[in-house]
Amino acid sequence: MRHELIHAWQYHEFGDADHGATLTRWTDRLETSKYYKRFTAPKWWLVCEDYSGWIARYRRSKTLRNTEQYSCSECGGSIRVKEGDSH
């Protein structure tokens, strides 16, 4: 629950929520996990073209709709969308 509250705060403060440095800083302070077990299969994946990272997505966010405007939060590489529940 604390993890999701951090995302809500990020969205309120910055207009976006991610798993970058801000989330890490707060998960450490609040002694909660940066990642959690999936409760359902994702409908989409954001895939980094540079280091092959996969990020699950459950709703059609602005990042999914406009991947050309965003980059990987881990390495800055290009991202693409893959539909489906597994990678």
* Other beta carbons within 10 Å of 76: 9
CA distances from 36 to 33, 40, 79 (A): 7, 12, 22
- pTM exceeds 0.85, yes or no: no
Domain ranges of the chain: 1-37, 39-87
Which tens digits make up the pLDDT trace of 74-86? 788 899 999 886 6
Burial label for 84, CB within 10 Å (0-12, 13-18, 19+), is exposed
Q: What is the pLDDT of residues 21-57, one digit of tens each?
A: 888 888 889 888 877 676 788 899 999 988 778 888 8
